[in-house]
Amino acid sequence: MTFEEYTYYRTGSTKVPLIVWNMFFKPFVSSSFRSFWKYWNPSWGYFLLFYCYKPIRTIFPYWVALIITFLISGLFHDIIYIIPMMMKDVKFVFPFITVWFFIISIGILVTGYLQIDFNRTSLMFRPIFHIGYLIVTFILTRYIDLSVG
């Protein structure tokens, strides 16, 4: 699948304004925490799917591949601020986003295992669950950060 085909598949368009709209609308009305990430940032999702998840999946079960993929994504996000901090001789930089993404991946697996979804929930209320989940996992990560730091 090409990048353009993948983008169309995930967002329903290849036109940038519609891609951006769908990138921020579709995830929040998706029917599960797992499907949220299928729609979020299709460009980055393409890279993660074809260059991380699928190769890892050939070696490990899906749940390990999912966790590793989220960890890789978190590390890429963290590098943006960790490298400059290390250049300033900061001894320890907490990999906040990596830990946050790890917690998110565990939640995706647990809700999938428990078959928790929002299929019967109105589209109007689904964003509350997704935003709430992101906030709760963020707060938990911040708590871990403060405990370690």
d(CA 149, CA 146): 5
Domain total in the chain: 1
What percent of the chain stands above pLDDT 70?
A: 99
Q: What is the pTM of this model?
A: 0.86
Residue 128 tokens, joined: 């509350």
DSSP three-state, residue 37: helix
Q: Which residue has the higher pLDDT, 122 or 43?
A: 122
Which residues constitute the domain of residue 110? 3-148
What is the distance between the alpha carbons of residues 24 and 6, in angstroms, rounded to a whole number?
A: 17
* Cβ-Cβ contacts under 8 Å for 16 (sequence gap 6 or more): none
pLDDT for the residue 56: 97
Q: Would you call 47 exposed, middle or buried from its count of C-beta atoms within 10 A (0-12, 13-18, 19+)? A: middle
* Model confidence band, residue 51 (pLDDT cutoffs 50, 70, 90): very high
